[in-house]
Amino acid sequence: MSRTIYALFVGIDDYLGEVNPLNGCVNDVTRMRDLLAARVTGAGDRFAPRLLVNEQVTRQGLIEAWRGHLGQAGPDDVALFYYSGHGSQEHAPPEFWDFEPERMNETLVCHDSRAAGGWDLADKELAQLISEVAANGPHFAVILDCCHSGSGTRTAEEITVRQEKAHPGVRPIASYIVTPQQVAALQGQGSGAASPARPWAAIASGRHILLAACRPEQTAKETWFPGPSGVEKRGAFSFYLQDTLQQTGAALSYRDLFKRVNALVQGRVPEQDPQLEASEPADLEQPFLGGAIPAAPAAFTLSVNKELGWVVDAGAVHGIPQPTESGETTQFALFPFDADLARLRSLEQAIGQASVVQVFPGQSLVAPMGRSGVALSTKTTYKAVVTSTPLPPLAVAFEGDPAALNLVRRALAEINGPGAPSLLVREGDGPGAEYRLLADAESGRYRIRRAAEALRFAVDTPGLDPDGARLVAQRLEHIARWVSTARLTNPATELARDAVQLEIFAWADGGELELLDIIRAAVRIRTGGWKLALAARANSPLQRHGSALLLHAAGPDRELQRLRRPAAQGRRLAGAGRQEAWAKASSRRGRLRKTIDLYIPDDLWRQGVTELRDILKLIVSTDEADATLLQQGELPVTFRPPPAKMPKRLSTLNRLMARVQTRSYGDDTGSADAYTDWTTVEVATTVVRPAEAEIVL
């Protein structure tokens, strides 16, 4: 069936009037437009984007573009509104006070909103515009990368907040494109009245799905991320939304898309939890944009481009990363074009391999090499299967005492022996560094912290001497391993995202297990600790092996970036019908139990730490996976060298997990036992410990 994907992208970095500029909004919308342009390839699908940036986004221009462009979407089409810019508030006129207990509207700030005589686009106006498009019956998604309200504009470490102070004036009712009577009718169609907890509830008018960058009391942030030509400013929410769409091979439902984006955002910036709403809850199970982005193919193709040479038809929009500075790059196994799926899964039958040299948006320049006795013809097209992807080293900015920092540089240069530098950590400049190392001569200590965090979350190492520097180098590698594990994903998987589900249960007061809604759940605990139970359920008769890992995403002090012991390691999910495996963790006495504890240690709680975040990560593969390859202790740690000997032949997944620890494995495709298909599921959790505690998922 023929359909059109009508997309309106709005990005504003520059504003008229006294509005703090942003830097990543235009990048957000142009990158997403380019991604969809390359990936909307379904039969009969037509991508119709319209891009408005900066001075093009006047209030009237936005309204006209909405009605003129998105208004074309019919019952079989898809409509997408993507906004990246400032969010704010404005005083509501008396006619709207019945709908606004706090007498404030939530708003999107247009380019001319704060010029003389200008106004924001209020939530009630957005509701009216949504209802107009929804009335035509398209699949409709709204994505907002902005704050709900606030007055701050910038935090430490160049993390920009996408919120602008409230408009000082009170708008006359005549300036709205919606009447109080229409607002009353729209709220009657929606999922409830607006409130401080749900400030955008009023826009739940007409059938649509809403993805928002943060909770109402939080701020949407932009910071530095990798771009096509080096680092660039991006919204954290927008970057990981695009990254997830690129890195996952299967077509994602909104629920699955949200779970991974939420986990990655929480692992990168503080106090930002993306939100997912749907006017019809069942729509959360629909594929993103109605399936307009198809699942990745079983194999890409290799051929000769007259201008570039050998290229594979997979690029940045398909999740292929650029080669790292240390030389790691994506590897493909090559097969004849008529190879069937069974042969593509047998790497021993590959006729060659190819290494990525340079990545373009839709394709990659590669250096192919035939196996012994096999010559590759420039006139032939081959199939190419991803067998290995690079794990970029962690970029750390060095600051402080030069002599003490040189000790750390020397320790990193010899951490694997004389002349064998660290492959996990590199010194990076300010904008591109995720972590910072401070050598403080006054206190006589090293401090490691995330660039996006305040000083509250840090790992301190006393002693600006060679011993302290060696311990700092080990701790930096520990953090680098955790970051690689948290972001581990397979862009070439053919496993359906719902083949295996991760279900989370809380222990009720009566001792029963209560299934939690992963999207939004709060469990209040009266006494005792925080206890969860995890179950991996297979919905397919195919054999599956799962490993559930509990990762600390942002712990303070000695617990920064903690990887707890694997649970459900190698549990087999096989046989016909629905199968399950319950995660188990070791108790302090070494016994396995079904309970998974989430907690805030007493000593940290007494220091005022009331919130820690975790990531639950489930790795599912078609062959046995060894989760101990990812295991490491808490911080601070004593040095645990990698095993002296490892099996010579491992599956592609086990090889990748081993490289998380050591980066020591070569890229010879033939050394792998078999091609293992695998995928991941991530769920972010927040443990809050006030006087009476709750778990928020």
**Whether the Cβ atoms of residue 14 and residue 24 lie closer than 8 Å to each other:** no
> What is the percentage of the chain residues whose pLDDT exceeds 90?
30
pLDDT greater than 90 at residue 471? yes
pLDDT at 528 over 70: no
- pLDDT grade for 145, boundaries at 50, 70 and 90: very high
Residue-level pLDDT at 472: 94
Question: 190 pLDDT band (50/70/90 cuts)?
Answer: very low
pLDDT one-digit tens code per residue, 86-137: 988 888 777 777 666 677 778 899 999 989 888 889 888 898 899 999 999 9
Higher pLDDT, 556 or 454: 454
| Cis-peptide, bond into residue 636, ω within 30° of zero | yes
Cα–Cα nearest to 252, from 290, 214, 300: 290
pLDDT score at 552: 43
pLDDT at 227 over 90: no
Which of 614, 663, 604 lies closest to 422, judged by CA? Answer: 663
pLDDT band at 432 (very low <50, low <70, confident <90, very high): confident
The answer to whether 110 and 58 are in contact (CB under 8 A) is yes
Query: In which region does residue 61 sit, left (phi positive, over 0), alpha (psi from -120 to 50) or beta (all else)?
Result: alpha
Using one digit for the tens of pLDDT, what is the confidence trace for 55-68?
999 999 999 999 99
3-state secondary structure of 467: helix
Spatial separation of the C-alpha atoms in residues 656 and 328, rounded to whole Å? 12
**In angstroms, rounded to a whole number, what is the distance separating the alpha carbons of residues 314 and 300?**
7
For 83, the token pair is 């906004």
Maximum CA pair distance of the chain?
82
* Mean pLDDT over each residue of the chain, to the nearest integer: 76
Would you call 636 exposed, middle or buried from its count of C-beta atoms within 10 A (0-12, 13-18, 19+)?
A: middle
Instruction: Quote the CA–CA distance of 149 and 632 in Å, as a whole number.
Output: 41
Q: Are strands 160-161 and 167-170 parallel, antiparallel or unpaired?
A: unpaired
DSSP 173: G
DSSP state letter for 198:
B
Residue 14's CB is within 10 A of a number of other CB atoms, namely 15
Q: What gap in Å lies between CA 386 and CA 374, rounded to an integer?
A: 20
Is residue 610 within 8 A of residue 690, CB to CB? The reply is yes
The tally of CA atoms less than 13 A away on the side-chain side of residue 514 is 13
pLDDT tens digits along 344-389: 878 888 999 999 999 998 899 999 998 877 789 999 999 999 888 8
503 forms beta bridges with: 535
In this structure, what token pair is assigned to residue 538? 């297979």
Please determine, for residue 11, whether its predicted confidence score (pLDDT) is greater than 90. Answer: yes
Q: Name the residue among 515, 556, 223, 140 with its Cα closest to residue 395.
A: 223
* Both tokens assigned to 639: 């040095």
In the prediction, which pLDDT does 564 show?
35
Which has more confidence, 283 or 551? 283
Predicted TM-score (pTM) of this structure: 0.73
What is the C-alpha separation between 625 and 370, in angstroms, rounded? 29
Helical packing angle, 123-134 and 59-69, nearest 10°: 20
Q: How far apart are CA 671 and CA 652, in angstroms?
A: 9
